[in-house]
Amino acid sequence: AQKITQTQPGMFVQEKEAVTLDCTYDTSDPSYGLFWYKQPSSGEMIFLIYQGSYDQQNATEGRYSLNFQKARKSANLVISASQLGDSAMYFCAMRAAGSYQLTFGKGTKLSVIP
Amino acid sequence: ETGVTQTPRHLVMGMTNKKSLKCEQHLGHNAMYWYKQSAKKPLELMFVYNFKEQTENNSVPSRFSPECPNSSHLFLHLHTLQPEDSALYLCASSQDEGFSGNTIYFGEGSWLTVV
């Protein structure tokens, strides 16, 4: 079984500052993928970034980067230069190879302050 | 414009009503999913279809009935629901279910209220 833990129910960040959202995971599968999604209040779940368990380098997508520490089973999301539009719920999720199941954490609500 | 579209975006229904949620994906994917998101609970996988065949039913009550006529369309038929079924229902699609790196793309969701 897989488990995702997001320990920060809510976070505040000043506009233009960087912020790190924490995610730890637990799995016995050797091959898996880690994902981050953003969910604005409208409800849509927007894919942000992906990291494979065998990837040697940390994933980056524009202002998003994933700080992947495999030995510690953590996959923190870093958002640089925060914008007001970044205010939303952020979910960490994982998926094992060969599985349909995408296991989500409980999410972190990020609020960007002007 | 999102690659996965859901209608209606908002639905209010009585416990004796029959309604349906519709999902269409424009991404050429072969797998489609229904997820349920309730307040204070993580997203829950309900159903998975791959090439129109149901490959997973996550112990979902029979009052939820999925239908997948082709790889681009997915329906969720609702009947005799309970107030606790009120939630955001998210449709999603992906290229293939077997590879952990295949990203699952979601629609905007259908907000369901059962009264």
At B74, list the tokens.
């997915």
Report DSSP state, residue B62.
Answer: T
Q: Which residues of B touch A4 (CB under 8 A)?
A: 42
Query: Is some CB atom of chain A closer than 8 A to the CB atom of B57?
Result: no
Q: How many CB atoms lie within 10 A of CB B55?
A: 12
Give Cα A73 distance to the centre of its chain. Answer: 13
Q: What is the pLDDT of residue B59?
A: 87
**Nearest chain A Cα distance for residue B13, angstroms:** 19
B105:A47 CB<8 A: yes
A95 contact residues in B (CB cutoff 8 A) = 100, 104
Nearest to A58 by CA among A50, A49, A67: A67
- For A66-100, the pLDDT digits (tens) are 999 999 999 999 999 999 999 999 999 999 888 88
Express each pLDDT in B26-49 by its tens digit. 999 999 999 999 987 889 999 999
Q: Is B108 on the interface with A (CB under 8 A)?
A: yes
Query: According to the model, what pLDDT value does residue A106 have?
Result: 93
In eight-state DSSP terms, residue B103 is: P
How close B54 gets to chain A, by Cα (Å)?
A: 11
Nearest to B114 by CA among B20, B11, B34, B42: B11
Residue B97, pLDDT score: 61
Distance between B32 CA and the closest CA of chain A, angstroms:
10
Chain A contact for B66 (CB, 8 A cutoff)? no
Query: Which pLDDT score is estimated for B102?
Result: 81
A11-63 pLDDT tens trace: 999 999 999 999 999 999 999 999 999 999 999 999 999 999 999 899 999 99
Structural tokens at position B28: 């050429």
**Residues of chain B falling short of pLDDT 50:** none
